[in-house]
Amino acid sequence: MKIAGIALSFLLVFMFGCGVDKSKSSDSGSTQPSAGRPDTRAVDAASGVGYDGAAMRRSLDKALNQNDARIAEQQKAIEQANGK
């Protein structure tokens, strides 16, 4: 019975601690995730393990944008070739 109470109190402290950190991180990072592509938003989480998540996200966004532009150029060339 005593062990269950200790486990329950530990669980509550842990949950409360996680909730406090989550609200602080959402307030401080609310401007950062809005920049860039929505599909690369998860890359910002790399900041939590010591990497520069914002720089990684910018680099990935740039590469994806260049890839999208290249695909659009190829599709345009295919359409022009099929149209002639």
The pLDDT tens digits of the residues spanning 18-77 come to 554 444 444 444 444 557 888 888 988 888 888 998 999 999 999 999 999 999 999 999
Where do the structural domains in the chain lie, given as residue ranges? Answer: 2-29+37-83
CA Rg, the chain, in Å? 23
Please tell me the pTM assigned to this model.
0.54
Compute the distance between CA of residue 51 and CA of residue 67 in angstroms, rounded to an integer: 24
Phi–psi pair at 57, nearest 5 degrees = -70, -40
* pLDDT level of residue 17 (50, 70, 90 thresholds): low
More confident residue, 3 or 41: 41
The pLDDT tens digits of the residues spanning 32-41 come to 455 788 888 8
